[in-house]
Structure 1
Amino acid sequence: MATIVGAALSDVVAGIREAILSGEFVPNQRLIEADLSERFAAGRAAVRAALLELANEGLIERVQNRGARVRAVSLAEAVEITEVRMVIEGLCAAKAAERITGGDAAELRRIGEEMGAAVASGDVLGYSRLNELLHRRIREISGQRTAAEVLERLRAQNVRHQFRLAMQPGRPQVSLPEHLEIIEAVCGGDPEAAERAARAHLRSVIEALARTDPAAP
């Protein structure tokens, strides 16, 4: 019985998380326990536990006497999140450069080529997916599981700002050479260069985020 309850809880957590990441559940949207229970065919206890877990991840927030809602991340907080990512992704890039294998290097270079093709064809969504894949593979190659878990949580919190940034005109053309520099440094087994390249890329992301602010000059 415990296994069934645990599986139901993990399914509910994964389902709500995916709905938030895909934009189906939008910032400040109320999450009604009864609706979620029906949608995921789960008991109210499992739904409550899932909402608590997602609140701990920073994806939702509990409002006194009003239940749960999708947490809205401000631009200022999005910048702070990216500043933290800059440090941790720099670490992962350095570790990946130390651990890179021939097969890993071939895969990263192939991703880089596909990113270039996506930019050339104007495939913004395809480029965004490849962008996410590249960052994930570098984290995986780094072997830094703790860092990877932290980064995944930060990415989830920041997903809507990341989407807005991906849609910013000309952004892929700016970020492509930054990503290619990270790939070459990691594949070349140069930890210091890999960390510098990763940090430079995230610094560029912070500057671009600031330009998404309607109040910015």
Structure 2
Amino acid sequence: MTVNENTARAVVAEIRDAIVRGDFVPNQRLVEADLSEQFGASRAAVRSALVELANEGLVERVQNRGARVRAVSLAEAVEISEVRMAVEGLCAAKAAEHVTREQAKQLKAIGRAMRTAVSHGDVLGYSRLNQELHRLVREVSGQRTAQDVLERLRAQSVRHQFRLAMHPGRPSRSLPEHLAIIDAICAHDAAGAEEAARAHLRSVIAALREVDQSSVRTLP
């Protein structure tokens, strides 16, 4: 890999992370000159990064107007969750087959921390633990292709995920779903882990629609 390729890859990661964090919001223009200055990279590296992120579905290029952060509709967020249902179910099943004693301890520790976050009303802490749990399940599964797919899908729907995390009562509703995934994986119950993961994503889809309807009702 050449230095230029390393640089381009680093810029892709930096812009992707900024989009995932919400530093760049949907439909925000991504000006090459500004990004070049912000990330200390050449215009060519930034341009290459925007092409790569467009291929990932995070950025869209508009003729004669440059690039902008792609907005994901509710319908697309639901579709993404439906794909996640299948792939995360696979990862949970594989994780149940491969989980080690030490990994089971890590999963159970996350579960205990999630319980504490919910009891203390720590919504942001719960959201971070949620992401940590899903990341660990993917890691334990050993399914690298599935990991890559899920990372891309997560990045595309990050704004909807944030709205969902902030929805009143959502952590309390999702906690038992996450604990069921943890329990099945630690019990080496592949079928149970897959069904628990699918049940969680079905709940996510229902909640996405609920949050969207709630937003419509609160419009002036």
TM-score by length of 2: 0.96
- Residue 3 of structure 1 is matched in structure 2 by 2
CA distance in 2, matches of 1:94, 1:21: 27
- Residue 129 of structure 1 is matched in structure 2 by 128
* Deviates further, 120-129 or 15-24: 15-24
- Residue 167 of structure 2 is matched in structure 1 by 168
Q: Which runs of 5+ in 1 are unaligned?
A: none
Matches within 5 A, 1:1-217: 3-213=2-212, 214-215=215-216
Amino acid in the other structure paired with 2:206 = E
Does the 8 A contact of 1:210 with 1:216 survive in 2?
no
- Give 1:201 shift: 0.4
Identity %: 69
CA distance in 2, matches of 1:216, 1:81: 24
CA distance in 1, matches of 2:72, 2:82: 15
**CA offsets, 1:75-101, max 9 Å, x none?**
110010000000100000000000011
CA distance in 2, matches of 1:168, 1:215: 14
Amino acid in the other structure paired with 1:37 = S
CA distance in 2, matches of 1:18, 1:94: 29
**CA offsets, 1:35-79, max 9 Å, x none?**
111112211111110000100111000001101000000011001
Amino acid in the other structure paired with 2:105 = A
- Give 1:19 shift: 1.1
**CA offsets, 1:167-205, max 9 Å, x none?**
010000000000000000000001000000000000000
- Give 1:3 shift: 2.7
CA distance in 1, matches of 2:83, 2:10: 29
- Give 1:10 shift: 1.7
**CA offsets, 1:116-144, max 9 Å, x none?**
00000000000000000000100000000
Q: Which runs of 5+ in 2 are unaligned?
A: none
- Count, aligned residues: 216
SS in structure 1 at match of 2:168: coil
- Give 1:7 shift: 2.1
SS in structure 1 at match of 2:2: helix
Amino acid in the other structure paired with 1:33 = E
CA distance in 1, matches of 2:101, 2:123: 29
TM-score by length of 1: 0.97
SS in structure 2 at match of 1:212: helix
Does the 8 A contact of 1:165 with 1:209 survive in 2?
yes
- Give 1:4 shift: 2.1
Amino acid in the other structure paired with 1:110 = A
- Give 1:216 shift: 7.0
SS in structure 1 at match of 2:75: helix
